[in-house]
Amino acid sequence: MVELALPKNSTINPGKVWDKPAGATNVREFKIYRWSPDDEENPRTDTYYVDTDDCGPMVLDALLWIKNKVDSTLSLRRSCREGICGSCAMNIDGSNTLACTKGMDEIRGAVKVYPLPHMPVIKDLIPDLTVPYTQLRSIEPWLKTDTPEPEREWRQSHEDREKLDGLYECILCFCCQTSCPSYWWNGDRYLGPAVLLQAYRWLIDSRDEATGERLDDLEDPFKLYRCHTIMNCTQSCPKGLNPAKAIAEIRKMMIERRV
């Protein structure tokens, strides 16, 4: 009989319950994933209470309130606070999203905050994005041309420019990448929805002259074809983009060039 056991550190233990803010009338409960490689202990979920009259309406506002006024050891990424940089991507209330654009009023009960799934954790809510950024680098996400560079800019028609809509807006938060079960299973070889959307953005750019080379590089059983149209990527994208459609368009290009 085969006996299967989870790794010791896969168990998330109950953590510390912090005091409620004194004198607060409007309080929200937060359960936040905590883990530090320095502690040599299992991950835990600490419970905090936020005075919502003393901070902004977004989950990120509450996290910064906790860090600044309750527990300075809480670690997270954030930058723009405007849904532009993608730094504060995390799993909130069971869904991948941006903490800076997720309102506390959108969540019932305790607000549960975890790092993006599947990625190794550096500390607390900070995922290690080395693998997806390495995969992004592999598709060479820049303009590649053989034609001598013009004196001014590369010209592009309005119609060709419109083809990039729904692609260039990607902020590389990797909410889609880490919500994809196919990426969970084959993340070492499958490029994932975020990277493939970026790949299509350059494949469809009329100024780029390396279409054949790019398609050759993607012609692989794992890089492209592990997508099973589960559609988690499209559902989780905080910018409302459709990575699944981009992947389908790449597959279509693969077929058309054989005809």
- 167 by DSSP, 3-state: which? coil
Total structural domains within the chain: 2
Q: Is residue 35 part of a domain?
A: yes
Containing structural domain, residue 91? 8-127
Residue 84 lies in a domain: yes
Q: Which two tokens stand for residue 24?
A: 């607060």
Q: What angle do CA 190, 35, 170 make, to 5 degrees?
A: 40
Whose tokens are 């997270």? That residue is 76
| Residue 3: inside a domain | no
Q: CA-CA distance, 205 to 63, in Å (whole number)?
A: 39
DSSP 14-70: EEEEPPPPTT-SSEEEEEEEE--TTTTS--EEEEEEEEGGGS-SBHHHHHHHHHHHT
The verdict on 81 and 118 lying in the same domain is yes
Mean pLDDT of 18-47: 95
- 219 in any annotated domain: yes
Residue 85 and residue 139 in one domain? no
pLDDT of residue 2: 53
Same domain, 47 and 82: yes
Residue 134 lies in a domain: yes
- For residue 227, the domain's CATH number is 1.10.1060.10
- CB-CB neighbours of 138 under 10 Å: 14
Mean pLDDT across the stretch 57-71? 98
User: Do 108 and 21 fall into the same domain?
Assistant: yes
User: In sequence order, what E strands does the chain have?
Assistant: 13-17, 27-34, 44-51, 89-92, 95-98, 111-114, 121-123, 126-127
Are both 230 and 139 inside the same structural domain? Answer: yes
pTM for this model (two decimals): 0.93
3-class DSSP state for residue 121?
strand
What's the CA dihedral at 211, 212, 215, 219 to 10 degrees? Answer: 180
Domain-located, residue 2: no
Mean pLDDT of 147-171: 94
Which CATH number belongs to the domain containing residue 93 in this structure? Answer: 3.10.20.30
Q: Which residues contact 238 (CB under 8 A, 6 or more apart)?
A: 83, 89, 97, 98, 101, 173, 175
User: Do 106 and 180 fall into the same domain?
Assistant: no
* Closest alpha carbon to 13 in 55, 56, 43: 43
Residue 4 confidence (pLDDT) above 90:
no
Q: What is the mean pLDDT of residues 202-207?
A: 97
In the numeric block, which tokens belong to residue 169?
A: 């807006």
* Residues contacting 191, CB < 8 A, separation 6+: 135, 138, 139, 199, 218, 223, 224
Quick one: 250 and 139 in the same domain? yes
pLDDT band at residue 11 using 50, 70 and 90 as cut-offs: confident
pLDDT of residue 198: 98
Beta bridge partners of 103: 58
Q: Is residue 1 part of a domain?
A: no
Same domain as 118, residue 136: no
Are residue 76 and residue 134 in the same domain, yes or no? no
Q: Please check whether residues 18 and 117 belong to one and the same domain.
A: yes
pLDDT, mean over the chain: 95
Buried b (16+ CB within 10 A) or exposed e, 76-88: bbbeebebebbbb
In a domain, 152, yes or no: no
Whether residue 188 sits in one domain with residue 119: no
Residues 104 and 137 both lie in one domain: no
What is the rounded distance in angstroms from the CA atom of residue 185 to the CA atom of residue 226?
9
